[in-house]
């Protein structure tokens, strides 16, 4: 006895045009999200290889040294986390303004101005100033300098 096979939902001939368009739009969204970063990464590697080759070095050994220097020991990992934390917090601060509808292009400059003002406040305070008073003064100086820079 012979049975007729009907096309399943995964086969290309779906009788529901809405399902096909949904699959197409889902695929388009995935391609939009994944393809640009992959192309940018590939382009960065190619340009980096060309730059390394122009200095007469082997790209593989340079990338190996780069990774060993940052991730190969605890000091390198600590430095990566130490430097990234400040920039991550700055990026999070920018998102607060974006949520309010404001775009801030100078967040890194505000960070530098605030750090400089906090350092100056710490230097100008008398040496016997208790930390319970010195830290809030330095934070206030950083807030004022960062805010003035962004104004």
Digit-coded pLDDT (tens) for 78-113: 999 999 998 999 999 899 989 999 888 889 899 999
Phi, psi at 26, each rounded to 5°? -65, -45
**For 28, left (φ over 0), alpha (ψ -120 to 50), or beta?**
alpha
Summarize the confidence of residues 60-89 as an average pLDDT.
92
Residue corresponding to tokens 């960070």: 111
Three-class secondary structure of residue 126 per DSSP = coil
pLDDT above 70 covers a percentage of the chain that reads: 86
pLDDT score recorded for residue 25: 83
- pLDDT greater than 70 at residue 16: no
Using alpha carbons, select from 92, 126, 130 the residue that is nearest to residue 111. 92
In this prediction, residues 49-73 reach a mean pLDDT of 94
- Taking the C-alpha atoms of residue 87 and residue 57, their distance in angstroms, rounded to an integer, is 31
Percent of the chain with pLDDT over 90: 62
Confidence category of residue 32, pLDDT binned at 50, 70, 90: confident
* pLDDT for the residue numbered 117: 98
Question: What would the mean pLDDT of 13-32 be, rounded to a whole number?
Answer: 73
C-alpha closest to that of 80 among 92, 91, 90, 71: 71
H helices of the chain, in order, are 17-54, 59-71, 74-99, 107-124, 131-150
Kindly report whether the global pTM for this prediction surpasses the value 0.85. Answer: no
Residues 61-69 have a mean pLDDT of 92
CA dist., res. 74 & res. 139, Å (int): 30
State the average pLDDT for the chain: 87
């Amino acid at each position: 006895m012979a049975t007729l096979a009907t096309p399943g939902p995964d086969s290309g001939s779906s009788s529901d045009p809405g399902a096909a368009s949904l699959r197409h739009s889902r695929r388009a969204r995935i391609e939009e999200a994944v393809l640009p970063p992959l192309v940018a990464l590939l382009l960065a590697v190619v340009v980096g290889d060309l730059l390394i080759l122009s200095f007469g070095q082997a790209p593989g050994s340079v990338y190996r040294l780069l990774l060993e220097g940052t991730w190969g020991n605890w000091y390198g990992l600590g430095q990566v986390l130490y430097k990234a934390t400040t920039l991550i917090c700055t990026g999070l601060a920018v998102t607060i303004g974006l949520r309010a509808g404001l775009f801030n292009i100078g967040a890194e400059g505000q960070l530098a101005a605030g750090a400089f003002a906090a350092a100056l406040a710490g230097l100008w305070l008398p040496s016997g100033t208790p930390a319970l008073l010195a830290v809030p003064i330095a934070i206030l100086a950083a807030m004022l300098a960062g805010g003035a820079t962004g104004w």
